[in-house]
Copies of this chain bind each other. A is one copy, B any other.
Amino acid sequence: MNQLSSVTPVANGHAVTPSARAPEPARCSLPLGSAMICGGARNREDRAPDSKVLTGCAPGQDVWFIRSGILRLQRHAYDGHRQILSLFFPGEIVGFDRQFGGEISIEAATQSSLCRIDRRMFQTLVDEDSTLRADFFRQKQDQLERLHWLTWSLAALGPDERLCALLALSTRIMPYQPLSDGTGVLSVQLPRKDIADLLGTTVESISRIVHRLAGARIIEIIDPAHFRLLDLPGLAARGQIDSIFEKMTFGLANRRSQLEHVAAPAATDPVCLCGRQAGLLTPVNDRRAASDILV
């Protein structure tokens, strides 16, 4: 237990790139297809948890690139019931699709850092750059697959199985510290309420299930947001995602590590690469000009 507390600090800070929290990194370049998204400080926006990113009402002239944090796509029923339809993770683009109805919206689930992209600019890029298009397609496919899973599990699985699946998946999308004995410590960044609304259940049930899993020696509760997963394969099996685990998490983990590679050595050189085609990357020193290519 005490040895675990030495690991937990990973949980602090926000989503994926702790370095982004540093005061004004001022410039960054983010990979997307063969293009680089160059967001100057003026194109970046930090969002606090529960703040709105896109609502159905607002025209939403912008597309958003997620630098860090987790966004949630949600819809409310007449009685106020909220259901989370999907989560969006670092490296993904949101807001390009058709305007949602008035009842659907995207909000920040955790502290997030976004990068604003002009809609028409992005449209143009997608039309011109087939590599970007392919990459964007792949994102859509990933998101679709996640939605398929959620839909299926809501109807075919029990709440406990759904939570097991989520915990297993979380090892790839949230801070997870593997230990030498095969177990690992997971930092759950999603509020309990969000987990409940995503899995179509209640916070009370989540709490009961968590403690039930702890009783069955499948997990160990460090604190309400940190669990030690004693049997990750077992979790995946209970959630019936063992056969698709790799496939579902591949794209996610990929984009995440890509972002980390970019964000990590950010303290070295102010040069920002921008290009629209593979092999045609253009080094740009003036960050204002660079950020204008892809607002």
- A binding-site residues for B, Cβ under 8 Å: 75, 77-78, 81-83, 85, 97-98, 101-104, 127, 130, 140-141, 144-145, 147-148, 150-152, 154-157, 200, 240, 243-244, 247
- Contact B151 A97, beta carbon cutoff 8 Å: no
Bound-complex Cα distance A154 to B154 (A): 7
- Give the shortest distance, in Å, between A162 (CB) and chain B (any CB): 10
CB < 8 Å neighbour of A85 from B102, B151, B243, B247:
B151
CB < 8 Å neighbour of A157 from B77, B103, B141:
B77
From known contacts A154-B154, A154-B200, A155-B83, infer whether A148 and B75 are also in contact, taking CB-CB under 8 Å. Answer: yes
- Give the shortest distance, in Å, between A14 (CB) and chain B (any CB): 27
- Give the shortest distance, in Å, between A146 (CB) and chain B (any CB): 10
- Contact A77 B240, beta carbon cutoff 8 Å: yes
- Contact A151 B83, beta carbon cutoff 8 Å: yes
- Contact B83 A156, beta carbon cutoff 8 Å: yes
- Give the shortest distance, in Å, between A92 (CB) and chain B (any CB): 15
CB < 8 Å neighbour of A151 from B103, B130, B154, B243:
B154
Chain B hits for A145, CB < 8 A: 98
Q: Apart from A144-B144, A147-B148, A147-B151, what 16 extra A-B contacts exist at CB < 8 Å?
A: A75-B152, A75-B156, A77-B240, A78-B240, A83-B151, A85-B148, A85-B152, A97-B141, A98-B141, A98-B145, A101-B243, A101-B247, A127-B130, A144-B147, A155-B200, A156-B200
Residue in chain B with minimal CB distance to A237: B78
Chain B hits for A240, CB < 8 A: 77-78
Bound-complex Cα distance A150 to B147 (A): 10
Bound-complex Cα distance A101 to B248 (A): 10
CB < 8 Å neighbour of A156 from B77, B130, B157:
B77
